[in-house]
Amino acid sequence: MGRKLAALRLFPASGGFEAGNVAKIIRFARMGCTNRPFLHIVVAAKKREQDDQCIEQIGSFDLMPNERNEKLVAINFERLNYWMGQGGVAVSKPVSQLLGLAGYFPIHPRTYMTAWRNRRAAVEKAAADKAAVEQAKQQTEKAAA
Strand partners, 74: 60
DSSP H or E run through 122: helix 109-144
The mean pLDDT value of the chain amounts to 83
Q: Report yes or no on whether pTM surpasses 0.85.
A: no
Pick among 3.30.1320.10, 3.60.15.10, 3.90.180.10, 1.10.274.30: CATH of 2-95: 3.30.1320.10
Q: Please tell me the predicted confidence (pLDDT) of residue 8.
A: 42
Cα separations (Å) of 61 from 28, 48, 117? 9, 21, 24
CA 102: distance to chain centroid? 10
C-alpha to C-alpha distance for 60 and 80, rounded to whole angstroms:
12
Mean pLDDT of 119-131: 94
**Torsion sign, CA atoms 38, 27, 52, 55:** negative
Mean pLDDT of 4-20: 48
